[in-house]
Structure 1
Amino acid sequence: MLYKRTKQISFIAIGCMLTAVVIIAICNYIVANNAKGRTFDNLADVPSREIGLLLGTSPITPDGVHNYYFDNRIKPTADLYHVGKIRRILVSGGDYTMTEKHGCDEPTAMRDSLVSHNVPDTCIIEHWQGWRTINSIDAVRNLYDFDSITIISQKYHNERALYQADHFGLNAVGYNAEPSPITSSRIRNTVREYFARVKLFLDLL
């Protein structure tokens, strides 16, 4: 009797795991397929837009070490501005100065770094409620009333942001920033992204 019960539980557990894997795979496929032809690695290929949306990032990680994702998003954003691919930049992130997450005001840090890359501060708009990607995308449409944007982040992040942008009726493309050179960081973010894409669909229900 105990053996039969254990076997039933095992089958249920395996079934749940397989279902979860299938759901994750389907969500990932839908998001990646939706972004095909809309994210760009080369600066020359990026279509011109009035607004560039720089998604939130901190110069330091929660562990207090240098964050390569920050540098790798700032430079391409500045490059887009300097070649005239975007005219203004919306830096959207969270202010974590009073928390243990980063201890950083992300929009201010991004603005200051862009200014150090010779982007005029008069061309930078700061948004402090970008705690999540969907908050940033929502603000583009419903707070600032922009309708055409270039999103700047890593490719996996851009793909998810583009799906959200479509939901809000935005005309959006993505310019892909380089990932971190640290292998463990890339793996961690890749794994996290699989689950983030499932949550994406729950958010948009």
Structure 2
Amino acid sequence: MDEEDCGRSADLKRPGLWKRILKRVGLLLFTLLCLGFTFIAWTNVAAVLAGAGKLYNDPERLPDDGVMLVFGCDDRIDGRENLYFRYRIDAAAEVWKAGKARCVIVSGDNRTKYYNEPERMRQALIEKGVPGDKIICDYAGLRTLDSVVRAKEIFGVEKVVFISQQFQNERAAYLAKANGIAEYTGYNARDVEGQGGMKTRLREVGARVKMWLDVKVLGTRPRHLGEMVPLPE
């Protein structure tokens, strides 16, 4: 072992050296953890701010003549009724009966002929008294981002009313603002309580991180676009 290697070996054996190294590594990890939590918190707050003053629990407070955009989900989960589906349909029917919308877009996933969220929403709304000729299906609403952007670019919507639970309406508000939809509001459907609701709210934290990255970093676009589709008169 030459003299330089002997010096390095001696340095590593000095009292307290490893302790100082571990302390610095710990401080670095703590700093990164704090930055990560701050980033996650900011992405979640950004959605809240986008929806501030734009989301309502009373349909009478909504502006007139908007186009409802109802976000899709499956009507059943493991053979049981999906309350998210029921409450969104109830909310859309309330807005329609209040005379605040001129037509409805039901936007969801239609991945196979056996899985068709928009058609199930359409049938449920008809049963609630919404005229079938005022409902149009968007079969390519694979994500909230797809539904919002397609409402503008495919269906030509300029004045939109989001229909979903508040957490999704806030995220939709952020996406609408980022994609140049100036006139957006939302009507908050009843939320789901219990274990199922808690799991959804936990997933929403990650969904908002993805929302921010899609807009600010990745420039994500809908998976499917296409030609313009006219809305019902």
Q: Is there any run of 5+ residues in structure 1 with no aligned partner, and where? A: none
Call closer, same or farther: CA 1:76–1:14 in 2, change over 3 Å.
same
Alpha-carbon offset, residue 29 of structure 1: 1.4
* Contact 1:49-1:149 within 8 A present in 2 as well: no
2:185 corresponding residue in structure 1: 173
Alpha-carbon offset, residue 12 of structure 1: 3.9
CA offsets 1:62-119 (integer angstroms, 9 cap, x no match): x343210000000110111122100100000001446xxxx63100110010011111
Summarize the alignment of residues 3-14 of structure 1 with structure 2, pairs less than 5 Å apart.
Answer: 9-14=25-30
SS in 2 for 1:149: strand
* Residue 139 of structure 2 is aligned to residue 158 of structure 1: no
Summarize the alignment of residues 51-200 of structure 1 with structure 2, pairs less than 5 Å apart.
Answer: 51-61=67-77, 63-97=78-112, 104-170=115-181, 171-181=183-193, 183-200=194-211
Alpha-carbon offset, residue 15 of structure 1: 2.9
Q: Whole-Å Cα distance in 2 between the matches of residues 84 and 28 of structure 1?
A: 32
1:22 corresponding residue in structure 2: 38
SS in 2 for 1:169: coil
Q: Which amino acid aligns with 1:147?
A: E
* Contact 2:46-2:174 within 8 A present in 1 as well: no
Summarize the alignment of residues 12-51 of structure 1 with structure 2, pairs less than 5 Å apart.
Answer: 12-51=28-67
* Contact 1:147-1:169 within 8 A present in 2 as well: no
Alpha-carbon offset, residue 17 of structure 1: 2.3
SS in 2 for 1:78: helix
Q: Which amino acid aligns with 2:89?
A: I
Call closer, same or farther: CA 1:7–1:94 in 2, change over 3 Å.
same
Aligned residues: 199
The CA RMSD over aligned residues, in Å, is: 1.8
Q: Is there any run of 5+ residues in structure 2 with no aligned partner, and where? A: 1-11, 13-17, 217-233
SS in 2 for 1:131: coil
Q: Whole-Å Cα distance in 2 between the matches of residues 176 and 12 of structure 1?
A: 42
SS in 2 for 1:112: helix
CA offsets 1:124-168 (integer angstroms, 9 cap, x no match): 000011010000011111111111010000001101101111122
Q: Which amino acid aligns with 1:161?
A: A
| Identical columns (%) | 29
SS in 2 for 1:87: strand
**TM-score of the aligned structures, taking structure 1 as reference length:** 0.89
Q: Whole-Å Cα distance in 2 between the matches of residues 109 and 21 of structure 1?
A: 39
* Contact 1:92-1:130 within 8 A present in 2 as well: yes
